[in-house]
Structure 1
Amino acid sequence: MNTQVRHLATVVAVMFLALMISATSVQYFQASDLNNDGRNVRRIYREFGRDRGPIVVAGEAIASSAPVDDVFGFQRSYAPGSLYAHATGYFSTAFNAITGLESTENDVLNGTSGSLLLQRIQTLVTGNQPQGGAVELTLDPAAQQAAAAGLGDQRGAVVALDPRTGAILAMVSSPSFDPNALATHSRQDAQAALDAYQADPAEPMTNRALAGDQYAPGSSFKLLTAAAALESGEYTADSLVPAPTEMQLPQSTQILNNPGNLPCGDGSGEVTFTQALRQSCNTPFATLAMELGDDALRAQVAAFGFGAELAVPLGVTPSRFPATESQAELAMASIGQASVRVTPMQMAMVAAAIANEGVQMRPFMVARELTADLEVVSTTEPEELREPISASTADQLTQMMREVVATGTGRNAQIPGATVAGKTGTAEIGQGIAPHAWFVGFAGTGDEPEVAVAVVVENGGREGEGASGATTAAPIARDVMAAVLGL
């Protein structure tokens, strides 16, 4: 009998031990996975039911939470709707999803960031409702509105930077979407809105400023080819360069012409480097690229950040300069054609580096992190990212780009009371397809440029096949830069 009791006791003890091990495994070792499981409604209610902090631009909340009488307790809303949508992203209880800055700054906005530890301790002591911190952005409302108004219903994007610090002053992708429609607590309404956005061939939820399919830069890329030539030490802004009216590319039947099939300069077959950029001639840049070689051009492009990972804190798709397999392909790549693909952010960074005496600053969109009481807990300090060109090269490019705006293809970017430098671009896509229109440049009211900008209007926008960087993109860039400068 005692033997049977001992056996039973042993079995019961083993069962209790197994139960303890199982409970410990679930409560400790599996806790993180279970908490983060998308099917865990408690986690969803906890995460999406917080009193989330605001996202602020120029002292005004563009994303905020308000109390509501449902299981979540708070409703996230976005003002003014679509204007900042690609920056803020959306906070959706219906899809258990967070995108954009709502995602990258989530720990600050929901109050769990280490920088808000003191605030959390005070909340525990006082017994008050936990609150999230605030995130203040670098965006300039006037520039943002000018960019959105300039693009209107056209597909495209605008990025504006402070070249001295890297602060992002405007970031607009068109068309946009209304994050309020996705933040609603009605699953049915949110799903209907998402389905409509995803079915729209214009892809309004794609951030064309930072990612998307990227664009051929057209003649705006000539800034990088010019930089490579100047950096080689063999050319200056005043150097005479070959400029035939047309040229047959090596080992190819393709004939390369200048825009409008016009002669470059006086048609003598030779112009100054500045004149080649002012008129945006194709043949001089193709000739220079073939003389410099693929390695030199590739090194210069990489120095500006092509192929490099970047977060602002939103992720930026690396721009591409694929290996060229022939002299003809290199010639076309040098004028922003072939397989070269860029983001507007990358081209704004090119302009900003030239404006900032050859120093490229790291772009950033979050200026400060604050407590719920708006006390500053963190400030983003400007940071040098790289130095793609010398100060001498930057100065020469600046003078050349000013000539482009003063008397060349960029005249529509002129701003009374400001000194403007720039480069237009009209990127051919294919037979019967309207080109992308570009403007890349910078401006200031004094000796120091205060804003750098890149504008792309996809497939010609309202002007269709008649579009050009000069007529389509330059006026938008002008209005954005003028808004930053207060002119």
Structure 2
Amino acid sequence: MTKELRRLSIVMLAMFLALFASTSIIQVVQANALTNTSGNTRALYDSYEVQRGSIVASGAAIASSVPSDDVYSWQREYPDAAMWAPVTGYVNPVLDARTGLEQAENSVLSGQDSNQFFSRIDRAITGKAPRGSNVEVSVDATVQKAAWDAMGDLQGAVVAIEPSTGRILAMVSKPSFDTNTLASHDTDAVNAAYDQLVADPSKPLDNRAIAGDLNPPGSTFKLVVASAALASGKYTPDSAFPNVAAYTLPDSTNVVSNAGGGACGEGDTVTIATALRLSCNIPMAELAVELGADAIRAEAEKYGFNSTFSMPLESTASTYPSNPNAPQTALSGFGQGDVRATPLQMAMVSAGIANDGVVMNPRMIDRVINTDLSVSDQGSDSEFGRALEPDVNAQMVSMMTANVQDGAASNARIDGVQVAGKTGTAENDSRPYTLWFTGFAPADDPQVAVAVVVENGGGRGQSGSGNEIAAPIAKKVMEAVLGK
């Protein structure tokens, strides 16, 4: 080889290496930054060329894609949009924004999940258009519709859980919104709709079932306090406390009373079982003080308090305060003070008691179905932990059943079915009460646990109660699951 050819070869090799290095830097090192550059509209358009997979509930699509005549190729559509908004969320290519399952399952729905690698290769080789996988949710369309209808125009939320698995059967939040308006490709229309929703004081964008502004759980939290007492081994349902009509909080001059203003039934003493059945505040405050905040918090955390959950939607943690003073500890005995909870959390309390004391992690995804109809991912059940031993848990079931049969939760009764439950009517200073119910059915073979929260007093200010307004809603949800 002549000297000139060697020089030319070296120059060509150097140019090749330089080209290889520069393209590698662009494609590997700078790829993510270039893709996310605001001015790179081509990358944005390309990401929406894929036909997004559907979100499916009870065999029907609750979110799907149809062809569009613009640069985004596909338009997302949501039937019964407001009812399913807390589940699906929305996806918007104009704003490149996603919420709900559209966000949580985005890689699967958009076809970019690692499990879909070979499917992407196959479709590229065969010339088929790219497509995402379908996500099938555990939410039952019939139960969802029953919860939606039962809530009517009330402000609040409903969560229903299958106790033995943790599968979410219903997730309703009201007020809601039309997700189609935020999936539009009309930028001005989307921005106007979004601004209006953000400005709405009723906060329709909040998923009240698992997040938003959390409410005090009121007397539904008495289940956790009673559970802590039984778990300690120092108390039974027959453990008794002084039956008084007024109780001065420790280290305080503030006085609390029972809902009716009098004593908790007849007699000089009242048992834990009776206090739960009649939903009396004073005995539970006395019990909370005896137990102490540490014991109550530890039991609350066994049910999921102070933890977040990914279903894969992310929940806000329900809270029991870290270091309450003596008056706050007493107030926590009946779910007041600084205790806050989501409907998801209170449904988990009932579900744990229904499931022989074992609390399951909540989940929403049953399976992921590929474009060739194969199943690439199957939802699996997992335990969060044990809250109560079976023998002690049976006592909680008995007390909750009595609460519905002959107590403060009578409006949750279902003909021919034993229902276990607990109501709550939480105070909010001078504002309207927050109304609750949580429970499960059938009590002897639980198929569903449910929690209902109704905000703003259910339109009745401070005159409504959990038994009047929240319990009948829960009843309809349980009936839907049981086919009543």
| TM-score, length of structure 2 as denominator length | 0.94
**Counterpart AA for 2:351:** A
Please tell me whether the aligned partners of residues 161 and 452 of structure 1 are also in contact (alpha carbons under 8 angstroms). Answer: yes
In 2, the alpha carbon distance for the partners of 1:53 and 1:23 equals 33
Give the superposition deviation at 1:42: 1.4
2:29 corresponds to = 29
When residues 115 and 28 of structure 1 are mapped into structure 2, their CA distance, relative to the original with a 3 A threshold, is: closer
Give the superposition deviation at 1:262: 2.4
1:4 corresponds to = none
In 1, the alpha carbon distance for the partners of 2:16 and 2:297 equals 68
Give the superposition deviation at 1:14: 11
1:225 corresponds to = 225
Which runs of structure 2 are paired with 1:140-289 in the superposition (5 Å)? 140-266=140-266, 268-289=267-288
Give the superposition deviation at 1:283: 1.0
Please tell me whether the aligned partners of residues 134 and 374 of structure 1 are also in contact (alpha carbons under 8 angstroms). Answer: no
Structure 1 residue 112 corresponds to structure 2 residue 112: yes
1:400 corresponds to = 399
In 1, the alpha carbon distance for the partners of 2:116 and 2:324 equals 54
1:436 corresponds to = 434
Any unmatched runs of 5+ in structure 2? 1-12
**Counterpart AA for 2:48:** F
Count of residues in Structure 1 that have an aligned counterpart in Structure 2:
475
Give the superposition deviation at 1:481: 0.8
**Counterpart AA for 2:446:** P
1:73 corresponds to = 73
1:9 corresponds to = none
Give the superposition deviation at 1:21: 5.8
1:3 corresponds to = none
Give the superposition deviation at 1:159: 0.5
Give the superposition deviation at 1:20: 7.4
Q: 1:461 aligns with which of 443, 448, 458?
A: 458
Higher deviation after alignment, 322-331 or 380-389: 322-331
Please tell me whether the aligned partners of residues 216 and 342 of structure 1 are also in contact (alpha carbons under 8 angstroms). Answer: yes
Q: 1:472 aligns with which of 460, 469, 474?
A: 469
Give the superposition deviation at 1:100: 0.9
Any unmatched runs of 5+ in structure 1? 1-12
Structure 1 residue 449 corresponds to structure 2 residue 446: yes
Please tell me whether the aligned partners of residues 241 and 269 of structure 2 are also in contact (alpha carbons under 8 angstroms). Answer: yes
2:45 corresponds to = 45
**What per-residue deviation string (whole Å, max 9, x for no partner) do you get for residues 271-290 of structure 1?**
22211100001111111111
**Counterpart AA for 2:402:** E
In 1, the alpha carbon distance for the partners of 2:274 and 2:234 equals 17
Please tell me whether the aligned partners of residues 405 and 413 of structure 2 are also in contact (alpha carbons under 8 angstroms). Answer: yes
Please tell me whether the aligned partners of residues 38 and 96 of structure 1 are also in contact (alpha carbons under 8 angstroms). Answer: no
In 2, the alpha carbon distance for the partners of 1:124 and 1:326 equals 64
Give the superposition deviation at 1:167: 0.2
In 1, the alpha carbon distance for the partners of 2:161 and 2:207 equals 17
When residues 327 and 79 of structure 1 are mapped into structure 2, their CA distance, relative to the original with a 3 A threshold, is: same
Higher deviation after alignment, 383-392 or 242-251: 242-251
**What per-residue deviation string (whole Å, max 9, x for no partner) do you get for residues 230-260 of structure 1?**
1111211233333322111122111111112
In 2, the alpha carbon distance for the partners of 1:120 and 1:19 equals 28
When residues 22 and 115 of structure 1 are mapped into structure 2, their CA distance, relative to the original with a 3 A threshold, is: closer
**What per-residue deviation string (whole Å, max 9, x for no partner) do you get for residues 345-393 of structure 1?**
1111111000000001111001100012432221111111111111122
**What per-residue deviation string (whole Å, max 9, x for no partner) do you get for residues 141-163 of structure 1?**
12111211122222111100000
SS at match of 2:159: strand
SS at match of 1:311: coil
Which runs of structure 2 are paired with 1:291-306 in the superposition (5 Å)? 291-306=290-305
Please tell me whether the aligned partners of residues 437 and 456 of structure 1 are also in contact (alpha carbons under 8 angstroms). Answer: yes
1:130 corresponds to = 130
Q: 2:479 aligns with which of 461, 478, 482?
A: 482
1:342 corresponds to = 341
Give the superposition deviation at 1:93: 1.4
**Counterpart AA for 2:272:** F
Give the superposition deviation at 1:120: 2.1
Please tell me whether the aligned partners of residues 421 and 438 of structure 2 are also in contact (alpha carbons under 8 angstroms). Answer: yes
**What per-residue deviation string (whole Å, max 9, x for no partner) do you get for residues 167-198 of structure 1?**
00000111111110011111111111111111
When residues 128 and 325 of structure 1 are mapped into structure 2, their CA distance, relative to the original with a 3 A threshold, is: closer
Please tell me whether the aligned partners of residues 293 and 324 of structure 2 are also in contact (alpha carbons under 8 angstroms). Answer: no
When residues 440 and 27 of structure 1 are mapped into structure 2, their CA distance, relative to the original with a 3 A threshold, is: same
Please tell me whether the aligned partners of residues 357 and 390 of structure 2 are also in contact (alpha carbons under 8 angstroms). Answer: yes
In 1, the alpha carbon distance for the partners of 2:41 and 2:114 equals 25
Two-structure CA RMSD over aligned residues (Å)? 2.0
When residues 19 and 111 of structure 1 are mapped into structure 2, their CA distance, relative to the original with a 3 A threshold, is: closer
**What per-residue deviation string (whole Å, max 9, x for no partner) do you get for residues 64-103 of structure 1?**
0011221111111001111111111101012111111011
Please tell me whether the aligned partners of residues 216 and 338 of structure 2 are also in contact (alpha carbons under 8 angstroms). Answer: yes
SS at match of 1:241: strand
Please tell me whether the aligned partners of residues 290 and 327 of structure 1 are also in contact (alpha carbons under 8 angstroms). Answer: yes
| TM-score, length of structure 1 as denominator length | 0.93
Question: Identity over the aligned pairs, expressed in percent?
Answer: 47
In 1, the alpha carbon distance for the partners of 2:165 and 2:324 equals 38
Give the superposition deviation at 1:31: 1.0
In 1, the alpha carbon distance for the partners of 2:22 and 2:382 equals 50
In 2, the alpha carbon distance for the partners of 1:24 and 1:137 equals 41
**Counterpart AA for 1:205:** L
In 2, the alpha carbon distance for the partners of 1:153 and 1:47 equals 39
Please tell me whether the aligned partners of residues 272 and 284 of structure 2 are also in contact (alpha carbons under 8 angstroms). Answer: no
SS at match of 1:286: helix
Please tell me whether the aligned partners of residues 463 and 472 of structure 1 are also in contact (alpha carbons under 8 angstroms). Answer: no
When residues 76 and 325 of structure 1 are mapped into structure 2, their CA distance, relative to the original with a 3 A threshold, is: closer
**Counterpart AA for 1:104:** A
Please tell me whether the aligned partners of residues 157 and 171 of structure 2 are also in contact (alpha carbons under 8 angstroms). Answer: yes
